[in-house]
């Protein structure tokens, strides 16, 4: 997944457009759309990472959040697809606030990695 796609996925989760993200973060109009063909300025990349509460390495595809040392690139892509699915999160008919969503996602990431490790160990026993 490339930089622009990661940012687009994060923006979709917050139900904002890239133009709104640019206004919120003070990035020039249309800049983020061009990041699939050109490199962003470091300060602009940091603004986006700070807004979404992720690292710049995560935006650049250098890490997935909280991935274990044994995780393969395919595992990380699987997790990214799963996390970017934009399934609405709620509990007992009430929408979750952004802080709660972050906590739930972190918990689900842990469950995802635990399950991956279990399946990997089961496959190695065969």
Report the chain (126 residues): mean pLDDT per 10 consecutive residues: 85 92 96 91 92 82 61 62 59 69 71 79 72
- 27 and 80 together in one domain: no
Given 63, 81, 112, the domain boundary residue is 63
* pTM, full prediction: 0.53
According to the model, what pLDDT value does residue 35 have? 92
Domain stops at, among 43, 63, 83: 63
Q: What is the pLDDT of residue 74?
A: 65
Instruction: Give residue 84's pLDDT.
Output: 58
CA distances from 85 to 5, 10, 11, 57, 126 (A): 13, 10, 12, 21, 32
pLDDT of residue 63: 59
Both 25 and 56 in one domain: the answer is yes
Q: What pLDDT does residue 86 have?
A: 57
Q: Are residues 98 and 120 in the same domain?
A: yes
Domain co-membership, 19 together with 54: yes
Whole-number pLDDT of residue 71: 65
Structural domains counted in the chain:
2
Print the domain residue range for 23. Answer: 1-63
């Amino acid at each position: 997944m490339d930089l622009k796609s990661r940012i687009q996925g994060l923006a979709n989760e917050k139900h904002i457009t890239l133009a709104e993200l640019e206004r919120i973060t003070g990035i020039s109009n249309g800049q983020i759309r061009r990041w699939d063909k050109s490199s962003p300025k470091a300060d602009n990349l940091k603004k986006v990472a700070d807004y979404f509460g992720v690292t710049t390495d995560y935006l650049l595809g250098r890490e997935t959040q909280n991935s274990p040392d044994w995780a393969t690139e395919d595992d990380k892509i699987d997790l990214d697809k799963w996390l970017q699915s934009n399934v609405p999160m709620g509990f007992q008919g009430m929408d979750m606030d952004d802080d709660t969503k972050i906590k739930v996602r972190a918990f689900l990431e842990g469950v995802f990695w635990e399950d991956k490790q279990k399946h990997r160990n089961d496959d190695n026993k065969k």
